Structure 1
């Protein structure tokens, strides 16, 4: 999940929502795995340039330090990820978000046959980025590939080039070129999100409706009444069952939001082969 908008106490969205991301770590309804207990991560922005990061291999629902942090930290932009390991070890270096400078990166999905593609993809990294890979996940390699392809200048094009490279490498190796890629990228002032799959339906991804629409639909809800224009949530699955509150991001689409949460761009996500 990602929050982008007015400063809020992180606890409000992590623990005080009916079906928030921590509840989803135990009871996901729309994810590939109903339980996501193989670690978690929280990255948030304050007044400094580089975001703060707290990651753990413990389940999100049982980490007392996460509750302590969330109850005392306020932020205008933060990303949270709960993990279900697919083949890679349960360890802190494999937990999202991944960070580079002011950038945060999360990924819901996988690269099929990644162990067979890992060597080729690692060799495609800029040499200066090679040593920055500390874990063993496909996500961290995708992030470093995106940085290699210019993520800091144009995040969506960099991700299109990254996914195009992965698909081309898989085909050359005779592997199933399946990429499941719900990406979240943030630099503190802009938030980018991608929903993509090589074939078939991609993993679910939703954003909240505009504030005026929400207020019109639910004029007596005191929590929703506190929303300001531009406040925005992006989630893998809705936090509540309120009709009209959530808009599904179309398959194979990228969106970007300016601070504070105003939609800047929505366009097709089209991988670019090298």
Structure 2
């Protein structure tokens, strides 16, 4: 399917996270270890926040991330405290810019790994659930973008975990009505530019891999030889589809049916389940 990462913390060059790690997202675009597909070459996207703007900048393209010169150029020059990056393996929808993640609406960004089984059969009903004021913002044909707009409709602005739970509940209800036993497979990241919420859930109890980084102070204690850790804040966190390296104690698996919040102060990790609608 896809691989993605979300970064929040001390402003860094995109290059420091996208290219430099041993098993970087760029390496995963060609050599994923934990995904359904080894190669994720059906497009990519990066979205980032600048200190003076509320809305994120987003670039997306249809070629593979590993050979894109524009992405390489941007990564060497853009520094941000919060960014998303995604490399895509299509689950059947067209390879086109509007189908590449992350998706943006106002100050929100969203990206997804997974699929809605039977999406073609329930697509019309899902799209009719989208607030008419939001409907013109849907540009592509993916289930991921529709999920985002359904979550926006269900109150993402005021209650992100609840909105995603209601979106998941709608997908599961429609799936059951269409005879799909396990309709939803998702790892999702969503941000308002200040906090990052991440979700790992599947109807069948076998959600795709997802990891979050340990607290920086704990990593410093485990690996005092890593000098770069002295230049990032204790608030810095990464959430990734698969670890960016093999250092012991750095990566923690997100439990099945869970969601987390990366935010100033104490991060949260909670149980997640769909909410009937």
TM-score (norm 1): 0.97
Match of 1:152 among 157, 181, 185: 157
| Distance in 2, Cα, partners of 1:179 & 1:225 | 41
Q: Does residue 1:140 correspond to 2:149, yes or no?
A: no
Cross-structure match for 1:107: 112
Q: Does residue 1:82 correspond to 2:87, yes or no?
A: yes
Match of 1:264 among 241, 264, 267: 267
Cross-structure match for 1:125: 130
| Distance in 2, Cα, partners of 1:220 & 1:199 | 42
Q: Deviation at 1:192?
A: 0.5
**Is the Cα–Cα contact under 8 Å of residues 113 and 176 in structure 1 kept in the other structure?**
no
Q: Deviation at 1:112?
A: 0.4
Query: What count of residue pairs does the alignment treat as equivalent?
Result: 272
| Distance in 2, Cα, partners of 1:78 & 1:100 | 15
Match of 1:95 among 92, 100, 112: 100
| Distance in 1, Cα, partners of 2:22 & 2:31 | 11
| Distance in 1, Cα, partners of 2:163 & 2:71 | 32
**Is the Cα–Cα contact under 8 Å of residues 6 and 228 in structure 1 kept in the other structure?**
yes
Q: How does 1:18-33 map to 2 (within 5 A)?
A: 18-33=22-37
Q: 3-state DSSP class of the match of 1:17?
A: coil
Q: Deviation per CA, 1:45-76, whole angstroms, max 9, x where unpaired?
A: 00211000000011001110000001000000
Cross-structure match for 2:238: 233
Cross-structure match for 1:54: 59
Give the unaligned 5+ runs of structure 2. Answer: none
TM-score (norm 2): 0.96
Cross-structure match for 1:44: 48
RMSD of aligned residue pairs (Cα, Å): 1.0
Q: 1:263 to 1:25 in 2, by over 3 A?
A: farther
Q: Deviation at 1:125?
A: 1.1
Q: 3-state DSSP class of the match of 2:267?
A: strand
**Is the Cα–Cα contact under 8 Å of residues 24 and 244 in structure 2 kept in the other structure?**
yes
Cross-structure match for 2:183: 178
**Is the Cα–Cα contact under 8 Å of residues 44 and 86 in structure 2 kept in the other structure?**
yes
Cross-structure match for 2:249: 244
Q: 3-state DSSP class of the match of 2:165?
A: helix
Q: Deviation per CA, 1:103-133, whole angstroms, max 9, x where unpaired?
A: 1000011100111110111111111122211
**Is the Cα–Cα contact under 8 Å of residues 204 and 237 in structure 1 kept in the other structure?**
yes
Tell me which stretches of 4 or more aligned residues in structure 1 moved more than 2 Å: 175-178, 223-227, 262-265
| Distance in 1, Cα, partners of 2:96 & 2:18 | 22
**Is the Cα–Cα contact under 8 Å of residues 29 and 39 in structure 2 kept in the other structure?**
yes
Q: Does residue 1:164 correspond to 2:169, yes or no?
A: yes
